[in-house]
Structure 1
Amino acid sequence: MIADDFLKLDEADEAARLQASDNLFHVLFKRDDFSMELFAPRGTDTQTPHTQDEVYVISSGQSQFLRGDQVVSVRAGDALFVPAGMVHRFFDFSDDFRTWVIFFGPEGGCK
């Protein structure tokens, strides 16, 4: 389900929908150049660089995160920024790892 408008998204409810779908991500909201997803990689994170800037807010679990040549440890409550076009991925993530993903701005990223 892609909500056209919402007052509140409940992470636990959206996580249950994501798990039931057998998908790795679930688009929650999209409007113009803004979208919000819930993402739960399994096994290997096979993301490739995106055409928009993005923010991750870790909602559950822990992981290592590669952005360009930088690696950081992340856990629930942490936020990450990735500029458009930059190589990035999660690795060594826990079984309960999930993150909100927010894409925003024009193709090619904000200046």
Structure 2
Amino acid sequence: MGRGLGRAATDVGHDAQSPHTEDEVHVVTAGRAKIETPGRTDEVGPGAVIFVPAGEEHRFTEVAEVLVLLMVFGPAYGSRSPKSSRSGAESAYVAKCSIRRS
């Protein structure tokens, strides 16, 4: 399993990432944006949990506030070859939950 912390500034412009060979889970800890996948567009903000299956096109757009993401990749990032990703096996989805700050 891989993990990371990502940030996208409001002036990010075009998110040019290409599909990854691993499943991804992003947890939005701060900021607001939209995530676009082939079948849908969702608004995301603090508390959003985003699942993107391996091989699915996706990008963040309309970043209205600096977007801070906790990212988890499975298996570890870069460990699968592009031929072994499961493109099309599942669809991306967004779940909303609350983040409590103490």
TM range (shorter): 0.5 to 0.7
| RMSD after superposition | 1.7
**TM-score, normalised on structure 2?**
0.68
Greater helix share, structure number? 1
TM (norm. structure 1) is 0.63
Q: Which runs of 5+ in 2 are unaligned?
A: 90-102
More strand by share: 2
Query: Equivalent pairs: percent with the same residue?
Result: 29
- Once the two structures are superposed, the pairs formed by residues 48-87 of structure 1 within 5 Å of their partners are 48-87=18-57
User: Post-superposition, which runs of at least 4 consecutive aligned residues in structure 1 deviate over 4 A?
Assistant: none
Q: Distance in 2 between matches of 1:69 and 1:76?
A: 23
**Structure 1 unpaired stretches of 5+:** 1-33
Alignment length, in residue pairs? 77
CA shift, 1:94, in A, is: 2.3
Following superposition, the deviation at residue 90 of structure 1 comes to: 0.5
Q: Which amino acid aligns with 2:59?
A: R
> Hey, what does 1:39 align to over in structure 2?
6
Higher RCO, 1 vs 2 (CA within 8 Å, ≥6 residues apart): 2
Task: Work out the CA distance in 2 between the residues paired with 1:95 and 1:61.
Answer: 5
